[in-house]
Amino acid sequence: MRATAATVAVLALFAAAFWYLQNVAGLIGGEIAPAKLAWLCFALLFWLGLPLLIICDPRTPPRLAQAFGSLLALMAARGVVELVMLYVFHNWSPHYGIAHDLLCAAVLAYFLALAWREGEHRGGKLASTLSLHGIVTTLMFVPEIWFAYYMHTNFGTMGGEAIYFVPDAEKHRHVLNVTAGVVAALAIYLPLFLGFWFHGPTLRHRP
């Protein structure tokens, strides 16, 4: 529980710093709307922070640990490569993000299917909670792919004047409203998941 609280605190500090860099300091990539910053933080939490905590939890069944571990590895690698492309070479394309999103979703679906076939979801409330969380985590790639496609069709993402984020402008209100809706749904889901996860059984599935 303390590790999760620390992760959320780090994300809050990141959000404040990132907001300043993009919206005040004028870092390349343009200003970022509040809804998009919130989505970024939830994505980092669900695709990096929570997977790390889940695989470190000895109660996590093996296949589900493989699912979240694979996601963590894929996203960590993407983070390094994408940061270099965004802020050093300025050659990032939404197509790269979409391809990686599809890969992550496919890998997650594969391991979740294995976990289901082997009956891990029937291993008690904790296992079923983590199985459901795996599905939610996978489904998050659906809006993310649409968001990336929106960037492709509305912004130039390469070169010194590249735009990486949707600003808080009226002409982008539709995508910002959708983003806010997704964020609201995740904000409702997150404490429910954490409650079931924190108070799950203490039975160890792995050494």
pLDDT tens per residue across all 207 residues of the chain: 789 999 999 999 999 999 999 999 999 999 999 999 999 999 999 999 999 999 999 999 999 999 999 999 999 999 999 999 999 999 999 999 999 999 999 999 999 999 999 999 888 899 999 999 999 999 999 999 999 999 999 999 999 999 999 999 999 999 999 999 999 999 999 999 999 999 877 555 555
Is 206 part of a structural domain of the chain? Answer: no
Is 86 part of a structural domain of the chain? Answer: yes
Is 40 part of a structural domain of the chain? Answer: yes
The answer to whether 166 and 32 are in contact (CB under 8 A) is yes
Written as six digits, the tokens of 123 are 């291993």
Q: What is the pLDDT of residue 123?
A: 84
Is 204 part of a structural domain of the chain? Answer: no
Is 70 part of a structural domain of the chain? Answer: yes
Could you give the CA distance from residue 71 to residue 69 in angstroms, rounded to a whole number?
5
Written as six digits, the tokens of 197 are 């996860």
Residue 147 structural domain: 2-198
Q: Which of 142, 143, 144, 131 is nearest to 193 (CA)?
A: 131
Is 205 part of a structural domain of the chain? Answer: no
The answer to whether 11 and 44 are in contact (CB under 8 A) is yes
Domain count, the chain: 1
Q: What is the pLDDT of residue 207?
A: 54
